Structure 1
């Protein structure tokens, strides 16, 4: 590999104005080439602005930077791959303020989580929630949060400036039964990984950094309540790294009402893909569905925690995904050491048939008690 040519090309690209530039991910085909490149790049006398313009992604031997179409380097493609670093959005739909939530939300009850709490509460299970952060002051979450990381501002706690991440965390692990709400796995621990901004958007490269953080900090579960339409080889590499590390990755199918297609990363086989149901155990109208979906869970008009200690009602496959993350936390606390493949198999064997579907055996809704029974057989 001609690293000198790559270094020259990078210098040229970074020296030009960023107008009409798009964020791209540059991946090395050989990890050893990436390591040598990093060493040489760090030794160059480049300006701090040039150094900061590159976002390093060591887990997949890559980096991300702004690059115009004119600056793409076809002559270098034999040793590197170049793909877009697109924006990804969270999977929540319209939300509205709700009255103070007390006790057990309907979705937590529908999946029969409370009946399992005499056996398992998710104690010591670490759930990485790659999202918009979390409201650290929320009374229902205070007992359930670890520090996590803010990938957008490394010096700060991952405070939520959107609300979506707090809502997800509440469904998974809220623990304030006397005065507030309780989540599916109230003694599990949420590690908020803030990759998404106040608009609920993140670059794929931010998500990759979040996945890598979860792998290095030994999360048991990663909740991914977001998605995009296009396939990303870089994101797949990061997901595969986490899967191979034994982490269970749970991802939302998307909110476009599609019958035969779901979003990425839920579409990757290494994830547990989740679609949404309503109170009637029917597929929610907004939910993507089809053969790529592994399981359904409540996702319509879900009440959970919100910013400034409040509560909101949200709908989306995001909300369904958080129910499944909580359920898997209950399962892992009960049966430590289960692999991602074993957990997916247990979930698929223990589903409750949906109403109003012609293929009840192929797919179904999460049932925590049946899940635990299937794991014990």
Structure 2
């Protein structure tokens, strides 16, 4: 069956329907099958009615599109599987731990408690994360915030390709501030204040995206050679598309860090944190105990401060948020410090070193089966040596 036949099948399946259509991701069997489809797709006449509705996703040899309800299942020798494109959300704070506007009330730089607790200032004697590129797949970033000036490089807006990835939610700006804020005069300082943030806007104003948006974000990070991908979001259902993208990033030597979720569960965490190629992060409070809202247990690789974390916000403001999202940004910052000192470290080596040098946390019934405690930037750098 030819690729032209597949295009005709897609035209029928994507066509206009009075009922709401669902987004799907269509995987091809291998690279050559995908290449043949793309060649036919590129040659298809511009008048081909659904061409603009098909989005190629090269990193997983797939396309995304909406399929009308009741359409004939797509069966073609080139197709491996068809998966629903699931909505996914940034990890919002638990209802008991909602955000609070925060003022700095000081002159000179402010080092948030979490940055101090993981001993980043001690690590700064050796490194501040210079030239390490971090793709923050989130809601974008506030380009005008004084604490992020000089820390932002080229990113992408996957929702509106012609626009900058400007944050219209706040979550991405908060995450970026904890990683790399560097206002030494009168603002906040993050974990790795010389690292470079590449904002990848995959989430809308409400903090919602689709798996295909995330996969395209990971694809952008791989093609633009990020060192780290920060993913402070999650969902309950496993997605093969997302797993394929994460596996590809890991294979390319990119460290993927993800938040575990805020339901206080003892034995289950969200995807993508649940994938073995990801560093999964739970949250601690200032007393070095696991925060009540944090998912915990054997599935967690590491813990980091995530309770009442003050960071950058929209319109030059600051906000205090609690969640495993905030913990994840601390871990990404420490990895930036590591890679600035030892650029050849693999994702597997980084996870192992972080666990080996972590400090015990209370809040688990037993450390048995627990892989790692709370990260410690100073111990990490001592372990790496001169």
Give TM-score scaled by structure 2 length.
0.94
SS of residue paired to 1:275 = strand
Counterpart-to-counterpart distance in 2, 1:25 and 1:72: 16
Change (3 A) 1:309 1:72: farther
Change (3 A) 1:49 1:301: farther
User: Paired residue for 1:119, among 126, 130, 155?
Assistant: 126
1:59-117 CA-partner distances (Å, limit 9, x unpaired): 11111111134115154387331011111100131212111365100000010001110
Give TM-score scaled by structure 1 length.
0.96
1:281-329 CA-partner distances (Å, limit 9, x unpaired): 1111111112111000000110000001100011110000000000000
User: Paired residue for 1:209, among 205, 216, 221?
Assistant: 216
The CA RMSD over aligned residues, in Å, is 1.6
Superposition pairs for residues 301-340 of structure 1, below 5 Å?
301-340=308-347
Query: Do structure 1's residue 64 and structure 2's residue 73 form an aligned pair?
Result: no
Partner of 1:31: 31
Shift of 1:359: 2.4
- The 8 Å contact of residues 18 and 67 in structure 1, kept in 2 or not, is answered as no
Counterpart-to-counterpart distance in 1, 2:260 and 2:144: 30
- The 8 Å contact of residues 231 and 257 in structure 2, kept in 1 or not, is answered as yes
- The 8 Å contact of residues 53 and 65 in structure 2, kept in 1 or not, is answered as yes
5+ long unaligned stretches in structure 2: none
Superposition pairs for residues 166-177 of structure 1, below 5 Å?
166-177=173-184
Shift of 1:49: 5.7
SS of residue paired to 1:304 = strand
Counterpart-to-counterpart distance in 2, 1:120 and 1:344: 19
- The 8 Å contact of residues 104 and 110 in structure 2, kept in 1 or not, is answered as no
Partner of 1:43: 43
1:183-234 CA-partner distances (Å, limit 9, x unpaired): 0000000000011110001111011111011111110000000111111111
Counterpart-to-counterpart distance in 1, 2:74 and 2:204: 33
SS of residue paired to 1:193 = strand
- The 8 Å contact of residues 349 and 374 in structure 1, kept in 2 or not, is answered as no
User: Paired residue for 2:102, among 94, 98, 103?
Assistant: 98
Equivalences, count: 377
SS of residue paired to 2:219 = helix
- The 8 Å contact of residues 90 and 138 in structure 2, kept in 1 or not, is answered as yes
Counterpart-to-counterpart distance in 2, 1:72 and 1:133: 38
Greater CA drift, 141-150 or 324-333: 141-150
Shift of 1:56: 1.1
- The 8 Å contact of residues 112 and 188 in structure 2, kept in 1 or not, is answered as yes
User: Paired residue for 1:357, among 354, 358, 364?
Assistant: 364
Change (3 A) 1:49 1:274: farther
